[in-house]
Amino acid sequence: MDMHTVVVGSSGTTADDVIAVARGAARVEPATEALAAVAAARQVIDDLAAKPDPVYGVSTGFGALAVRHISPDLRAQLQRNIVRSHAAGMGPRVEREVVRALMFLRLKTLASGRTGVRPVVVETMAALLNAGITPVVHEYGSLGCSGDLAPLSHCALALLGEGDAEGPDGVVRPAAELLAEHGIAPVELREKEGLALLNGTDGMLGMLVMACADLARLFTSADITAALSLEALLGTDKVLAPELHAIRPHPGQAASADNMLRVLADSGLTGHHQDDAPRVQDAYSIRCAPQVAGAGRDTLAHARLVADRELAAAVDNPVVLPDGRVESNGNFHGAPVAYALDFLAIAAADLASIAERRTDRLLDKNRSHGLPPFLAADAGVDSGLMIAQYTQAALVSELKRLAVPASVDSIPSSAMQEDHVSMGWSAARKLRTAVDNLTRVIAVELVAATRAVELRTGLTPAPATRAVLAAVRAAGVEGPGGDRYLAPDLAAADAFVRSGGLVAAAETVTGPLA
């Protein structure tokens, strides 16, 4: 077994494994002990199915229709019908990595031995992932309660050999054709199995896990660009001293301050705030950078804690308990995940907001302490980075709208049986947009800060700054000079930040940053 195989046991999974399957080429293999636990739980369901007493999800309808007892000859049809009827999503296709994360996390819960499915269901889900078959899932169809119902249903439909899916070649075709080409037999569902495939927080959790990974990189990237802006504005690094942050002991704040201090080590540009135009203090967007980014880091730490708990969970209704009882529950409610997703959207918006204020300061000759207007070569003839800041401001404004929480907007469904929902899927979808936009905002600050540092002729930037400058120029972002077609520079900076190139460049000098 190689390092690209993720083994799924009965006790949950890790964020790293989710990302390896969703974004990488990792294969999935259910552990032997997990398949044994699955088989044991299935025996409990088979025993209940043989009894005359109605059991929710085994021998009854679902949701508001749970009052109807279903006879044995109709139960397979019941399970097929719930998948078909719930595969009712609309709108654009959801990204491949999101669907793979969703499928893997549903597999994780099926492997827990708490859902009552047969081992063949677990094995077939793993086979689809390993074959690179990605069901077509649509943007709309989840209220984040009773699970991500429509998205999970579209995935379950592919297990049945129905609906559409994307093959490993990226072409969308009927799922039946793709399964046949890869030698995968469609699943014929039995009692409880259709319900078990639909009842989970897997979509919103997968997006939370990936957003946490992306935001961790972006918080470090923002510390680097903040340090470069401080340098370009001839600010003081005294506010980054560890003893100052120790007396307000928020760990994220201390980590951000330390990152900035290490990037600025041995800079010839810092400490000039008392020179020609004396400043007692730098502006908040410079001086308070660790406090704002640090609060975001601590929010991220909370979100990761929530994600880790959910990754260890078995979310289904009803569930098979260790003592053999089959009990209904509300664990499918997405509130814990939805809140974390909304918190992160707020943190992303505020981090973008302070980055934009630093960029604007770099471009304003009245506040930039000697830099040319808009960092232009010949202001008036050239506009410099004027409109780059417009773009950044538009992104920040959008981020503020995306920070409005989805989780406070419950809407009742299922004939008022499901009368309070989490909207966690919606929170996750808007957070993905927020993360993309935050990346672009940081990229614009990087373009401005690197140009401004290079315009400080006669002063030597920090070694880490010089490493960033060399790397960003090699990545296709041009330095100071006359006006040119600017969109390619911004796109190159965006790609540089998104790929982790900015962090990697700084770390060649600083060593690993937090």
Q: How confident is the model at residue 2 (pLDDT cuts 50, 70, 90)?
A: very low
At residue 150's C-alpha, the angle toward residues 149 and 151, to 5°, is 95
Q: pTM of the prediction?
A: 0.96
Is a pLDDT exceeding 70 seen at residue 3?
no
User: Looking at this protein, which amino acid is placed at residue 217?
Assistant: R
Task: Say yes or no to pLDDT of 289 above 50.
Answer: yes
Whether the pLDDT of residue 325 is over 60: the answer is: yes
Strand-by-strand arrangement of the 134-135 sheet: 134-135, 164-166, 172-174
Report pLDDT digits (tens) over 361-417.
999 999 999 999 999 999 999 999 999 999 999 999 999 999 999 999 999 998 888
Distance separating alpha carbons of residues 283 and 473, to the nearest angstrom: 29
- What lies within 8 Å, CB to CB, of 307 at 6+ separation is 15, 205, 208, 209, 212, 337, 340
How many other C-beta atoms are found inside a 10 Å radius of the C-beta of residue 88? 13
Query: How far is 490 from 337, CA to CA, in rounded Å?
Result: 33
- Point out the residues that are catalytic: 56
**What is the 8-class DSSP label of residue 375?**
G
pLDDT of 428-451, one tens digit each?
999 999 999 999 999 999 999 999
Place of tokens 């939370």: 208
Q: What is the pLDDT of residues 188-199, one digit of tens each?
A: 999 999 999 999
Would you place residue 128 in the very low, low, confident or very high pLDDT band (cuts 50, 70, 90)? Answer: very high
Q: Look over the chain and give the mean of its residue pLDDT values, rounded to a whole number.
A: 95
Alpha carbon 396 to its chain's center: 19
Per-residue pLDDT at 70: 82
Q: What is the pLDDT of residue 132?
A: 98
Q: What is the pLDDT of residue 275?
A: 73
Measured CA distances, 85 to 77, 134, 174, 260 (Å): 12, 20, 18, 54
Closest Cα partner for 450 from 429, 467, 425, 428? 467
- Inform me whether the pLDDT recorded for 513 exceeds 90: yes
pLDDT digits (tens, 9 = 90+) for 217-266: 999 999 999 999 999 999 999 999 999 999 999 999 999 999 999 999 99
- As a whole-number percent, the residues of the chain with pLDDT over 90 amount to 89
The answer to whether residue 1 scores a pLDDT higher than 60 is no
Assess contact for 355 and 445: CB atoms under 8 A: yes
Mean pLDDT of all residues in 465-485: 98
Q: Label residue 455 exposed, middle or buried (CB < 10 Å: 0-12, 13-18, 19+).
A: middle
DSSP state of 460: P
Query: Please, are residues 426 and 233 in contact by the beta-carbon 8 Å criterion?
Result: no
Lowest model confidence (mean pLDDT) among 71-85, 334-348, 486-500: 71-85
